Structures are given as structure tokens and as C-alpha cells.
Amino acid sequence: MKKVFSIIAVLVFAFSWISWNKKISIREKISKEDIIACYNMETLNAYQQEASQTTFASLHISPKNAANTEQLGKMISFKGTDGKDANAYFIASKKKSNKWLIVIQEWWGLNDNIKNEADKYYKDLGNMNVLAVDMYDGKVAATPDSAMKLMRGADMTRMVAIIKGAIEHAGQDAQIYSVGWCFGGMWSLQTAILAESKAKGAIMFYGRPESNLEKLKTLQCDVIGFFGNKDQSPSPAVVNEFEKNMQTAGKKLEAFRYEAGHGFANPSNPSFNAEAAADAYKKAITFLKAHS
């Protein structure tokens, strides 16, 4: 009988040991990268929640149709880091170059206005490949309501995969620059963070700033931002906090403010402010040339 109890005790101990080790191995599958990825979604998810509200939509007026111009680029496909195909409007540098400007849409999507902006930057820079990424996988909104619906259904993890795929598409030796407006302004800064040592400069036309100090400390390039004093997304108070956070993180930010509202740099936006937009664009080009 003692022998039987001894065998049972050994079996119980063995089972407990195996179960404990199994739990440990399951925990070890949660990698550092997984934790960082979750941590990095905070700002993106906060923007999605904000942009899914009617109060945010009310800041946006349906865009006018962009002026018809002969576009310089063409649509291409590349792989996102999730293994799925992603799309972008691409203009190749006339001479071989490892410099890439990633252009990021407003919440409307990759429409003709963004393609026209990509063309404009390409003409004035000359020595850069320009890649305007399609963050909505082909969907484009024409009204605030439809844009809000797109944001409610947006997959931020997919968008991260698109941006990371664009960075990989640019190549191992690529120098990455970024520019975006509103939704794209937020993503321009996030692109610079995701690009790590490849990042050489980020341009934000409004857009939600990153508020996490630890994440800002990983940024490896300078940032220039253009904001409206009449804007509420981001508000002047949020911009003040962003300036403070960047200084605390030891990063360089040039922030310029205009007496203008949300979307002031968009020629197809009824609230377009030509004077502010022209000044901001001139400063953006100067910034890119100084960092390239």
C-alpha cells in the first residue's frame, strides 16, 4: 500500500511540475515586442476614439474637389508587415536616391488633394522618392459622416503594419522623412518613431501629438509642427504640453502657430488659410532640405 501511495505522490508531483512549467512557457511567449506594440497603441486608440465622435467631425467641412492636375506618380503595391498587400501613390526620384518622403493622408483618405501635395513636395525637393501611403486600403470619404464611419471601423494595428511596410519597402539604407495633415500629422510623428534610426525628419500639420514621454525618448530625429490657434484638435493647450514633453524628452521641436482653424493648410478645405499655408509650406521645405 505504501508503494501505491508513493507512486501516486510521484505522479501528482510530476503533473504539478509539468503544469507549472507549461504556465511559465506560455508567459514567456509574451515578448518584449508585444508589450511595446500594445504600449505604442495608446495615442492611436485615443485618436480613434476622438475621431469617432460627432464633436470631432464638426471641426471638418466636406472638402472641395481638388483642382484637376496631371499627376506625376502612379499607384503601387507593397507588403505590409502583417503580410497583406498595401497601396501607395509613388513618385520615384529622378536620380537614384535613398531618401524617402512618406506622405500621410488626412482622415478623408488618399484623395486627389493628398496626391497633389505629394506632387508639390516632389517638385520642390527633387532628390527624394515620395510615397503617399493609403491608410484606408482604397476607401475614401467625401463627408464628415463617412470619414467618421471609416475611423470607427479603422484597424490601427493594420495601419501600423502599413507604415512599417512602407519603411521596409524604402530599403535597408533608406533615410525616412514624413509629412501629414490632421490624422496624417499624428501619423507623421508615429512614422518617425517607427522608423527608428532611419528617421531623419518629421513634419506635422496639426494632428494629435504623442503624449507618452518614454515613447518620445525613442524618437531619433527633429520635428517641425504647424498648428492653428483656433483649432481644438489639437488645442493650443495640447500643443503647449507637446512642446513641454519634447523638451523633457530631450528632443528638438520647432512649433509654429497661426491665427487659423483646423485644416488651414488644405487647399480643398473651405477653412483654407492661404497665407498661413504658404508660410508653413515654405518652412517645411526649408526643414526637409536642412535635414537631407
Lowest mean pLDDT among 39-43, 115-119, 232-236: 39-43
- Please state which architecture CATH assigns to domain 39-290: 3-Layer(aba) Sandwich (3.40)
More confident residue, 69 or 77: 77
Other C-beta atoms closer than 10 Å to the C-beta of 20 total: 10
The pLDDT, as a whole number, for residue 48 is 85
DSSP 62-121: PPPPPPP---S-EEEEEE-TTSSEEEEEEE--SS--SEEEEEE-BTTBS-HHHHHHHHHH
Enter the C-alpha cell of residue 129: 522618392
- The residue written with cell numbers 475611423 in the block is 151
pLDDT band at 11 (very low <50, low <70, confident <90, very high): very low
Domain ranges for the chain, please list them: 1-30, 39-290
Using the predicted structure, report yes or no on whether residue 125 has a pLDDT greater than 80. yes
Give the residue-averaged pLDDT of 96-104.
97
Give the residue-averaged pLDDT of 170-179.
98
The pLDDT, as a whole number, for residue 25 is 40
In whole numbers, what is the pLDDT of the chain averaged over residues?
87
Other C-beta atoms closer than 10 Å to the C-beta of 10 total: 10
Compute the half-sphere exposure of residue 1: CA atoms within 13 Å on the CB side of its CA: 0
Helices H / strands E in the chain, number of each: 10, 8
Lowest mean pLDDT among 8-22, 92-106, 162-176, 269-283: 8-22
The pLDDT, as a whole number, for residue 283 is 98
The pLDDT, as a whole number, for residue 6 is 52
- The CA-atom distances, in angstroms, between 15 and each of 20, 75, 287 are 9, 58, 64
